[in-house]
Amino acid sequence: MSKLKIALYWAASCGGCEIAVLDIKEKILDVAAACDILFWPVALDFKYKDVEAMPDKHIDACLFNGAIRTSENEHLAKLLRQKSKILVAYGSCANEGCIPGLANLYSRESLLDRVYSETPSTDNTNGVRPQLKVKVPEGELTLPAFYDRVKTLAQTVDVDYFVPGCPPVADQTWTALEAIVTGKLPPKGSVVGAGDKTCCDECDRKREEKKIKKFYRPWEIIPDGEKCLLEQGIICAGPATRSGCGTVCVNKGKMPCRGCYGPPPGVIDQGAKLLSALGSIVDSNDPDEIEKIVNEIVDPAGYLYRFGLANSLLGQARTK
């Protein structure tokens, strides 16, 4: 029996998902025994032309991590879709847009202005900007086009399976790889390896339906180690986040859920779901007091849509 042919690619992301693949530890040997890696630029010397030369559907499965920010990201997404039988959106950036997706709160030009003109440490009196093409003695150099909007993988090409997480935990990664290796795959479009409830359903902390008068940032308070963080005024995305991570942040790391596993089944917009949860615990009927309490939330867009803005109903801010 011939080995499975797999590929891994890193688009607009931090690279943590590349490391997460190695978190399965010795099980990586099982993957190596069952699979040949045909494309993994971060770890091995492959070129785009190697993939372009492959027949269509030559790759059995591709784990694609990262959002679509540039023309290069889009080209590789379409190329790997063409060459792969199974395309997996691996990690939060590919699934939801993640942290790169927060750039959708700004226009392309305002981002470039900030980076190349406005930061205090920038010395760019001539207003130099990256150019898509520039001629040098050796020939012509090119850069990918920087798009006005960050998109998810599924907003760009057809995706077969989704593995959420920033990054996915090791058990979840192994579940996805094992399903591919054994051929025991769920229906197309399924979220692989994660749960079908919320993070709160897996959490060991005690809930008492407590109301609050103030929201705290994590560094402003020493929380009770056993009580629900949300009921202590610390914004925890557990009520609006899919289960399956093992509550590593909330129970083991003693930190609030950030929401990286995306919305639970049946929830269209994770940010709206979290906003509803926050509203339900505010202890006041007075509009002025409610406004005062809510205004204590620093960077509400960053809290509510830290991982899912690109895939939300909002998608991006309206910019001139």
Domain(s) of CATH 3.40.50.700: residues in the chain = 4-99+148-182
pTM equals 0.92
- What top-level class would CATH report for the domain 4-99+148-182? alpha beta
Q: Is a pLDDT exceeding 70 seen at residue 116?
A: yes
Q: What is the pLDDT of residue 320?
A: 59
Q: Is a pLDDT exceeding 90 seen at residue 94?
A: yes
**Token output for 107:** 């226009």
Q: How far, in Å, CA of 237 to CA of 272, rounded?
A: 11
Q: Is a pLDDT exceeding 70 seen at residue 117?
A: yes
Evaluate whether 202 touches 182 at the Cβ level (below 8 Å): no
- Find residue 191's DSSP bridge partners: 162
Evaluate whether 66 touches 12 at the Cβ level (below 8 Å): yes
Q: What is the pLDDT of residue 319?
A: 60
